[in-house]
Amino acid sequence: MANENYSAGNNGNWSPRIVAFFCNWCTYTAADLAGVSRMKYAPNIRVIRLMCSGRVDPQFVLEALARGADGVLIGGCHPGDCHYSEGNYKCLRRFRMLKRVLADMGIEDKRVRLEWISAAEGEKVKRVVNEMVNEIQELGPLGIPKKFEEWDKEIEHLKQHIESQEFKQEEVKK
């Protein structure tokens, strides 16, 4: 079965999974350039194409982390170069806010990163991805889905506890 060869966990060691949001005009094109130039970088990154980094809703980053990403990379045009004149600034604004929320949640700073990468900077895609993979490799898995399971269990446990308490109270009333 071909599938089994490629299933996660079959060849042992954990390695980070990074979701990236690249803008169509600069960073996505830069990643294409890295490809055309046959630069080699770590395969841990999966890119989602958006028209502009301004489209990156902080919720997307949270969703990615909640669904098992160990890191998130956002790539946009350099300041002043945005195809839509200023979407990247808006992205930066939200990113700053998001970083504070993430810090409060105990998510390490290096897991979520914003980079300005122009269409000519295939080399930078390679460098940033490799750097990020190495840094997150050191931090280890984020494992939020697993934590969700634990939290669900806790909640379930609490629920049962409360129900049994209520049951007892009703018994007492009777």
Q: Using CB under 8 A as the criterion, what x/- string covers residues 91-130 for binding other proteins? A: ---x-----------------------xxxx----x----
CB atoms within 10 A of CB 34: 21
Q: Tell me: does residue 135 bind other proteins (CB under 8 A).
A: no
Size of the site for other proteins (CB under 8 A): 61
Q: Which is nearer to other proteins, 80 or 140 (CB)?
A: 80
20 and 46 Cβ atoms separated by less than 8 Å: yes
Distances (CA, A) of 165 to 41, 159, 169, 172: 56, 10, 6, 10
Q: Which is nearer to other proteins, 105 or 170 (CB)?
A: 105
Q: Which is nearer to other proteins, 44 or 139 (CB)?
A: 44
Distance in Å, CB of 59 to other proteins, minimum: 8
Distances (CA, A) of 144 to 46, 148, 159, 172: 18, 6, 22, 41
Q: Tell me: does residue 51 bind other proteins (CB under 8 A).
A: yes
Structure tokens at 62: 């949270």
